[in-house]
Chains A and B, each alone.
Chain A
Amino acid sequence: MPFQMRPDAILSEVKTFNEKLAQGVTNLMEVGEISSGVTPFEVVYTEDKLKLLRYVGEKEPTNTVPMLIVYALVNRPYMTDIQEDRSTVKGLLDAGQDVYLIDWGYPDASDRYLMMDDYLNGYLDNCVDFIRASHGVDAINLLGICQGGAFSLCYSAMHPEKVKNLVTMVTPVDYQTPDNMLSHWVQNIDIDLLVDTTGNIPGEMLNWTFLNLKPYQLMGQKYLGMVDMMGDAKTLKNFMRMEKWIFDSPDQAGETFRQFIKDFFQQNKLLKGEVQIGKYTIDLKNVTMPILNVFAEQDHLVPPDASRALNGATGSSDYTELSFKGGHIGIYVSGKAQKTIPPAIGEWLTKRS
């Protein structure tokens, strides 16, 4: 018989569950404030809502070429520095890198007309110029994450002389691989109607979309799993920290969202060389610097094949792939990732800087 539970065993399981729940709520009350971002930093440049952070490591960087992390506009960049023992930023500092990061801030209604040109040839270019001038170098290292990786690719195609080395992490390049759920869903959405109606795209809408990717796990099983771990205050706090990050979703500047979804997801123009940003037509063959392409093999948001498509698409003669056995978020926060990913990136960069 496949189902072997006796009534008393059911009762016992119910009792254990409720005891854990009652104890957990007590722990929850003692969690206190949930901090995010653990590594010390200085804000070295600001523009509108943007802040450029420079992280301070425990030792001086050994790589004289600074690196800039370009995070996605979706969610918040403190994912890369989420907690003491789970920090990509800290790992990169330990690997001798001089780490800068762009915090794009939270767009409001006055930002709805920000276009990709404003983000890339305005904000991002200003940050790159600031770092170049600060360090007296012609080019810096860029590390783009997810949508920030796509931005970094476009930027590198427009301004190759300012990018010494390019690292892309979980970055979609081919937006129409057969296993790309987000791309499949978005094909029937009238993006013009959406942006014309809402102006900026509410973060809640993005939350709903991402939860739809694995609804039974993300809205159900995960929370039952939480009951098992909440007896331990530290584990509970870490869970809450992740939970805070997951639902910390800035609204998306309307015009940038319009272009990104239509050109990248609906028409796959990046691979076709047809994306137009300001006065530039994005040709990936202009991306000639060394490239390290890092992706996750169990990524449910950006399928690995969407990232692998970068191979051969650029003009670089020094292309390296690094695959990680984990998911889209695990590549930053899992214990395994801490030991492998930042050191590997650091070593790759140092060799080429």
Chain B
Amino acid sequence: MIPAWSDDMMKNWSDAQKRYWDAWADLSKMGQPGIAAQPAMPDWTQGLDQWWKAVSPHTVPGASTDAFQRMVDMGKVYMNLAESTYKVRQAGATGAEAIEAWMNSMESGFQSCCANLDAGKFSAHGFGAGQALLDSWQRVTKSLGMEAFQKMGAGGFQMPMSQNWQEQLDKLLGTPAIGYNRESQERLQALTQLGANYQEALDDYLKAFAKQGLESVNALRARVASLREEGKSISSLRELYDLWVDVNEEVYGKFAMTDEYQVVYGDLVNALMAFKQGVNAEMDSIYEAANLPTRKELNAAFQKQQEARREIRALRQQVQELSRKLDALSAVASAPAAAPAPVAEVAPATEPVAEAAPPAKPARRSKKA
């Protein structure tokens, strides 16, 4: 059920919508006498972001809002494309120069994404799939209870943002374990190493996508050149965006079947699992100390439960088989003394192992379930 709206919610909602409509209505007046032209540096992406922040608290959480959030995210990417091309065209550049400027900007975005990952930082680059894939991956880590490690690079380990965070981490891991807490320190160092391995695997995965993004820019250049030779043109932003998606899927499709991708993909999953297993072990030791049931103990109980289910299933089948044989024997015993049928010729089993006994001939109802 969708909850009823309060007056305040309704007012906030309609105010936000009105402001948004007004903003776009102003845009449509552009070119009319007395109306200022759009600035050379439009901020449509930011406008969309602000609007969504205003209206999204009033939407109902669930599949719809999730989908809409994804749509707004892609809308921002689209607005970013519009801004880039508009700015260049406003500055008097030709269409060819505008598209080249956009491709150059993407190229440098992917390059800086790679460079930042090398320095232990993550920078999203809207036109690659990296950010969306990363969001999706973070849902995976969240479902495993690993939200604390969602931040990239130094942030993931709550370390000061520095260019040499890996170096600092290595120093920490290299500290010899001594004294009363030696075992605990060794365990934590091992766990931190697993975390660092995961970080490295995630960086490699994202770098692979950034590299694929660079290849896609080159492939797009080739596609644009070929369009030019064929005398074809791109006449809308949407066509440009769709072309970019086509080129990316083509480049990605080949990349995804390479050994390189198989390795970064598998390493990412394996590294997260090794890290998670280490975290699980630490959690178990904490639970054990608090006299709480551990994951290991629960698993043992679940395993026994499953074995019991199997035994029950087998026993039910045996009981039914015996029951059938008993019925057959009773039938033989109560039959006239003529020619008794041997037990071995009894009809095959048709009785189901069911919690709900089947009707002899199932009745069909027409009411909606």
Q: A129-B353, A196-B277, A197-B273 are in contact. Are A9 and B132 (CB under 8 A)?
A: no
User: Which chain A positions have C-beta within 8 A of B365?
Assistant: 40, 42, 56
Q: In this complex, what residue of B is CB-closest to A179?
A: B257
Question: What is the CB-to-nearest-CB distance from B13 to chain A, in angstroms, rounded to a whole number?
Answer: 8
Can you name 8 extra interface pairs (CB under 8 A) apart from A190-B266, A207-B136, A212-B265? A13-B238, A14-B44, A25-B55, A118-B306, A138-B350, A188-B267, A208-B140, A220-B245
Per-position 1/0 for B263-304, Cβ under 8 A of A: 101110110011011001000000000000000001100110
The answer on a CB contact under 8 Å between B276 and A198 is yes
The answer on a CB contact under 8 Å between A40 and B367 is yes
The answer on a CB contact under 8 Å between B228 and A1 is yes
User: Which chain B positions have C-beta within 8 A of A32?
Assistant: 2
The answer on a CB contact under 8 Å between B240 and A211 is no
Per-position 1/0 for B127-138, Cβ under 8 A of A: 001001100110
Question: What is the CB-to-nearest-CB distance from A199 to chain B, in angstroms, rounded to a whole number?
Answer: 7
User: Which chain B positions have C-beta within 8 A of A197?
Assistant: 273-274, 276-277, 280
Contact sample, A vs B, 13 pairs, CB 8 Å cutoff: A2-B234, A5-B85, A10-B237, A34-B64, A45-B354, A45-B355, A46-B355, A136-B350, A184-B257, A188-B262, A197-B274, A219-B132, A239-B67
Count of chain A residues near B, Cβ 8 A: 100
Chain B residues 34 to 65 lying within 8 A of chain A, measured CB to CB, are 38, 44, 48, 51, 55, 58-60, 63-64
Q: Is the C-beta of A185 less than 8 angstroms from some C-beta in chain B?
A: yes
The answer on a CB contact under 8 Å between B237 and A109 is no
The answer on a CB contact under 8 Å between A122 and B313 is yes
The answer on a CB contact under 8 Å between A41 and B369 is yes
Which one of A166-174, A221-229, A283-291 is at the interface?
A221-229
Question: What is the CB-to-nearest-CB distance from A234 to chain B, in angstroms, rounded to a whole number?
Answer: 15
Which one of B86-94, B171-179, B183-191, B329-337 is at the interface?
B86-94
Per-position 1/0 for B10-35, Cβ under 8 A of A: 00000001001100100110110000
Complex formed: what's the CA distance from A205 to B235 in Å?
39
Q: Is the C-beta of A6 less than 8 angstroms from some C-beta in chain B?
A: yes
Complex formed: what's the CA distance from A56 to B363 in Å?
10
Question: What is the CB-to-nearest-CB distance from A320 to chain B, in angstroms, rounded to a whole number?
Answer: 29
A-B contact count (CB 8 A): 307
Q: A1-B233, A13-B237 are in contact. Are A126 and B353 (CB under 8 A)?
A: yes
The answer on a CB contact under 8 Å between B63 and A217 is no
B residues whose Cβ falls under 8 Å from a Cβ of A: 1-2, 17, 20-21, 24, 27-28, 30-31, 38, 44, 48, 51, 55, 58-60, 63-64, 66-68, 70-75, 77-79, 82, 85-86, 89-90, 94-96, 98-99, 129, 132-133, 136-137, 139-140, 142-144, 224, 227-228, 232-238, 240-242, 245, 248-249, 252, 256-257, 261-263, 265-267, 269-270, 273-274, 276-277, 280, 298-299, 302-303, 305-307, 309-310, 313, 348-356, 358-362, 364-369
Complex formed: what's the CA distance from A184 to B260 in Å?
11
Q: A22-B17, A113-B303, A224-B75 are in contact. Are A184 and B262 (CB under 8 A)?
A: yes
User: Which chain A positions have C-beta within 8 A of B303?
Assistant: 113
Q: Is the C-beta of A54 less than 8 angstroms from some C-beta in chain B?
A: yes
User: Which chain B positions have C-beta within 8 A of A45?
Assistant: 352, 354-356, 358
User: Which chain A positions have C-beta within 8 A of B364?
Assistant: 56, 60
